[in-house]
Structure 1
């Protein structure tokens, strides 16, 4: 008789085909556990929400999900996302004020998040599945943090141990570096509840862990740091020198690339001005900065961000440069001389972008609590990396020993320009040995390595659970 596989319930609202920034960690974790012989069931967002409510999908990501994973999509009450009267329920259409009052009461007294209905539906669905075949352990990732509440309630009803994974912080404003809510807000009560009941809680960097440990000392001994990482299925096994190093002298224009989602937290203007100044250098006059990714995470969030790019260097913008509303999905608008928007690229196709880039620009918002998962991918590409972020970013701890890091040390455009020129010069002189050294450093952050502490802990919990249940 073969031994029963350990069974995981994974509460991961943002899961492919979602393109939210936090989707890659759950994607990789579910695939890795399945590869190791786990029976994995993922509860994720309903597709109508991803396609119709927020319009945020990357359909090619679905092709990267192990087919052995069971994918369930519990219902979500899309009350706050309904803008068309035809979508209203009969009760809401007849009694709109009463419906709003009931919804607001639930946010204050039941669970303080718009995804609470998904959590309740998840618990109901999980209980039915658990009755037929028991789950050994639950892993919940946030945001949304209703997944934490669902894990806590499922534990209360079944005694199944759970781990919560803070991809983002719930009560900490990671960019403003201060509490997100006033004292007395129900989020504080719920966070204390789920942390005290959790077998472990995971954080993406030490600063994030320390902040939570200070506020929740009873749970501090069960807190773990589990770094993000890069995924071997989307990058080649080895890296080669950049195009500038493979070209004959004077025959290649330095190519800078930014890859990722552009948000309102990032120092856009400083990056554009720094690049513009760098192009004043004799070897950089034809340099280009290509931007790959989305403007914002949700439908309609791109307008203000495009405007910021267009206004970043108005004095030097060429005739026809992008302005508010310019640049459709099929265009490549120019925001400033040499700065081009290339549009989104699926994670499954990023290997070509990295291969064709000479220098990668790490544009990042936030400070000591924000690492950004993209930096691991950047290092694995083995390219010179120029930092454009506030000093003290959590990513600096990772980049400090990366051999091709160019750190301006500030957001002064003059300093950024100096680093960009130096990075372009370094790219032109890279040989295979230097590229291999950069990749060797990045290998310690390959996803299977980064996830090992979590895999060990899940295995311990599942083993204990199965031993008790016989």
Structure 2
């Protein structure tokens, strides 16, 4: 959501006037809301909110559980009712349960056109990938230039395997994916690896149709400088983390490092959703007493937590096609100015960004020797200076303003 929000924030100053069509929050169902981000919508930008039809209220009644986070990150042990709900979601709601919004969005656009309004382009961003079917319908109906922004893979997204899809459902979902990729004028992805994956879905698609626009950071979010703590060596993780992130080897190496250096107050902090599996991994490593868990906080508070630490911890899920997973928080981590430890696959796009910006180190999930060596380096550096410096120059190309300028070029081509 922040990706679209920040584009909308900067587009008017770059000569593009956006009209935003989204869901009425009174009718939508989401696991978390952050009203503080509404302040980023510039005065004069029109935001039209529509009704929707979504099955999540029924899901809550059926399972007595909260609405699932992306990838079911807030669901630990899966009950029978949850398994049934996942099967229904994966086979009856294609591409996803948010498709019930599409007819409302299309009617809103039709009303604008009927009132005589004209538009030069339409941009749809997903997931939920059902939103891309709105762009497909508008392309067929009005012929507008269409930019399809896919922040994640579609049929290859990592949690698809949990949906128990039938062959028919897999075929239909893949058909939707191909139709979107063929009809869109521009396909935007957040990483080069995801772009290559999507391009392989339809043989013969021109490479020039695909553009990489990574996520970024908004400089205005980081105007207030926060100091790193002087009384502890604090590693902070911001966001959602589940058992799929395969960070238990790092936890074990961190516990061993703490045992080797009892004089160093080594601490962990998680800000956001931490799955029960991860809490159990922390306990097994003996880190519970050294760990602080902070529930979901608004974005502006999350930015403060990113700065009030010694080192930032980043995880890439240990799933198929994960080399192209490039979370938006990578760039906010860069803006926070703290070294980053990334646990993920070798050669990932996230690792390349960190290396390019000289902002940290990336380790494969089981590379314990390299983790151990780097933790020793951190302890030594922290003992000399509690604030470990990171170069600032390399990250500037990832500012939201700079990336929105590139979006404007794609719109105007």
Q: TM-score range by the shorter chain?
A: 0.7 to 0.9
Distance 1:257 1:382, change over 3 A: same
Q: CA deviation at 1:311?
A: 4.6
Q: Which residue of 2 aligns with 1:203?
A: 189
- From 63, 68, 80, the equivalent of 2:39 is 63
Q: CA deviation at 1:111?
A: 5.2
CA contact (8 A) 1:243 1:358 kept: yes
Distance 1:376 1:77, change over 3 A: same
Matches within 5 A, 1:210-229: 210-220=196-206, 221-229=208-216
Report the Cα distance in structure 2 between the residues aligned to 1:289 and 1:67, rounded to whole angstroms.
40
**Alignment RMSD, CA only?**
3.1
Q: Which residue of 2 aligns with 1:130?
A: 113
Report the Cα distance in structure 1 between the residues aligned to 2:205 and 2:385, rounded to whole angstroms.
47
Q: Which residue of 2 aligns with 1:466?
A: none
Distance 1:70 1:307, change over 3 A: same
Q: Which residue of 2 aligns with 1:457?
A: 410
Matches within 5 A, 1:287-298: 287-295=266-274
Normalised by the length of structure 1, the TM-score is 0.72
Q: Which residue of 1 aligns with 2:84?
A: none
Question: How many residue pairs get matched?
Answer: 378
Q: Which residue of 1 aligns with 2:74?
A: none
Q: Which residue of 2 aligns with 1:308?
A: 278
Distance 1:137 1:407, change over 3 A: closer
Q: CA deviation at 1:307?
A: 4.8
Distance 1:188 1:307, change over 3 A: closer
- From 332, 335, 352, the equivalent of 1:397 is 352
Normalised by the length of structure 2, the TM-score is 0.81
Q: CA deviation at 1:430?
A: 5.7
Q: Say if 2:242 is the partner of 1:263.
A: yes
Structure 1 residue runs of 5 or longer lacking an equivalent are: 1-22, 86-103, 245-251, 296-304, 317-334, 461-470
CA contact (8 A) 1:371 1:395 kept: yes
What SS does structure 1 have at the residue aligned with 2:378?
A: helix
Q: Say if 2:337 is the partner of 1:382.
A: yes
Task: Map Cα deviations across residues 146-174 of structure 1 (whole Å, 9 max, x no partner).
Answer: 21111111121112221100111111235
What SS does structure 2 have at the residue aligned with 1:119?
A: helix
Identify the structure with the greater helix proportion: 2
What SS does structure 1 have at the residue aligned with 2:123?
A: strand
Report the Cα distance in structure 2 between the residues aligned to 1:375 and 1:62, rounded to whole angstroms.
22
Q: CA deviation at 1:415?
A: 4.0
Select the structure of larger CA radius of gyration. 1
CA contact (8 A) 2:243 2:278 kept: no
